Amino acid sequence: MKDQLAKIRAEALAALEGVQDAAGLDGLRVKYLGKKGELTGVLKMMGKLSPEERPVMGQMANDVRAALEKALDEASQKLEAAALALRLKAEAIDVTIPGQAVAVGREHPMNIALNEMKDIFTGMGFTIMDGPEVELAAYNFDRLNAEEGHPSRDWSDTFYFDQDSRVMLRSQTSPMQVRAMDTLPLPIRILAPGRVYRKDEVDATHSPMFHQVEGLVIDKGVTMADLKGALNTVAERLFGEGTKTRFRPHHFPFTEPSCEMDVQCHKCGGVGCPTCTGEGWIELLGAGMVHPRVLEMAGIDPEVYSGWAFGFGLERLALRRFKIDDVRLIFENNIRFLEQF
């Protein structure tokens, strides 16, 4: 038994010398000190020894166990230290390498233009309202007094989702007027910017997806004078004090009377130049007094309440504001283009 213990001790210590990793170390621990391990096996035979031999062998077995445990601990510490050294080497940071500059983004020209509009209108007491781009034709057309057969409802102009032409990508932000009247308490004063969709081919001035900004005011005693006063103020805020505007009669199904507002060219003062394509005036938006039928369909009494509304294309405004000559640049997101604003 004495020889056996000495052999276990020698073998185990030699094996521990060559151990490579934690798994190997565990294997040796089990092999020698485990429940079914070699040393445990020897200890189990102690019962068969004579009473004189037993304490001697017991002492020796304990010595071997203590030596193995100590060697295991040391090997384990050595492995951990080696692993740590490896990790430190792998994760070493060379603080002398020059850093990489973080690219700072900037506001997209469309957002600059939109935020400007939001600022102007919230300053005039308007609330910003958001709504769905997938819209019911009932809101996009019917409730806006554009009945069946109206040319804008045509399949060649509008993206419909169903055969019955009931669900569509909104072709204008005007359905937000209906949503505002259906959900908000009177009086109403909202600005509703958002994406709209039309079946247009892409070119320098057209995109099948673009942005509009809708405005709606409904209150008692609102007149065309309020419309003109407010929109003139907006034009001055956008293009500078003293900016001249003109209102031309137009037709929209949901306003009566309807008009378009032009702004005198801020570049040439109305003489005609490249900015206004020689016109002297720049078309800015469509507007009008909310049609009594539209109020009625929303359950608002047109004898008590009246309102005015407007809508304009945000791309056109941004293009003009930043002298961009092709709408495609707005959507391409070429960083070298966007960095200029």
Question: What three-state secondary structure class fits 288?
Answer: strand
List all residues 6 or more positions away from 233 whose beta carbon is below 8 Å from its beta carbon: 124
Nearest to 284 by CA among 320, 308, 329, 322: 320
264 near ligand DAH, judged by CB under 6 A? no
Taking the C-alpha atoms of residue 233 and residue 123, their distance in angstroms, rounded to an integer, is 11
Residue 160 vs 341, nearer CB to ligand DAH: 160
| Shortest reach from residue 201's CB to ligand DAH, in Å | 18
Q: Which residue has the tokens 């304009």?
A: 312
Task: Report in angstroms how near the CB of residue 134 gets to ligand DAH at its nearest.
Answer: 17
- The answer to the question of residue 193 lying near ligand DAH (CB under 6 A) is no
Instruction: Report the residue from 153, 286, 319, 327 that binds ligand DAH according to the rule CB under 6 A.
Output: 286
Under the binding rule (CB under 6 A), the answer on residue 287 touching ligand DAH is yes
147: three-class secondary structure by DSSP: coil
The number of residues that bind ligand DAH (CB under 6 A) is 11
Alpha-carbon span 114 to 108, nearest angstrom: 10
> Does the footprint of ligand DAH cover residue 135 (CB under 6 A)?
no
311 binds ligand DAH (CB under 6 A): yes
- Smallest distance from the beta carbon of 136 to ligand DAH, in angstroms? 16
CA end-to-end span of the chain: 90
Is residue 252 part of the contact set for ligand DAH (CB under 6 A)? Answer: yes
If the CB atoms of residues 12 and 113 are measured against ligand DAH, the closer one turns out to be 113
Query: Does residue 129 touch ligand DAH according to CB under 6 A?
Result: no
> Minimum distance from CB of 218 to ligand DAH (Å)?
12
Question: 258 or 264, CB closer to ligand DAH?
Answer: 258
Residue nearest to ligand DAH (CB): 311
Nearest to 195 by CA among 117, 270, 116, 133: 133
Which range touches ligand DAH (CB under 6 A), out of 53-61, 157-165, 237-245, 306-314? Answer: 306-314
Asked whether position 309 contacts ligand DAH by CB under 6 A, the answer is yes
Q: For residue 252, list its beta bridge partners.
A: 255
Burial letters 206-242, b for 16+ CB under 10 A, else e: ebeebbbbbbbbbeeebeeebbbebbbebbbbbbeee
Instruction: List, in sequence order, every residue forming a beta bridge with 309; answer none if it has no partner.
Output: 216, 288
Return the residue of 109, 253, 288, 307 that touches ligand DAH, per CB under 6 A.
288
Give the HSE-up count for residue 314: Cα atoms under 13 Å, Cβ half-sphere: 28
Please report, as residue ranges, which positions from 203 to 222 form the binding site for ligand DAH (by CB under 6 A).
Answer: 214
Give the residues lining the site for ligand DAH (CB under 6 A): 172, 174, 214, 252, 255, 286-288, 309-311
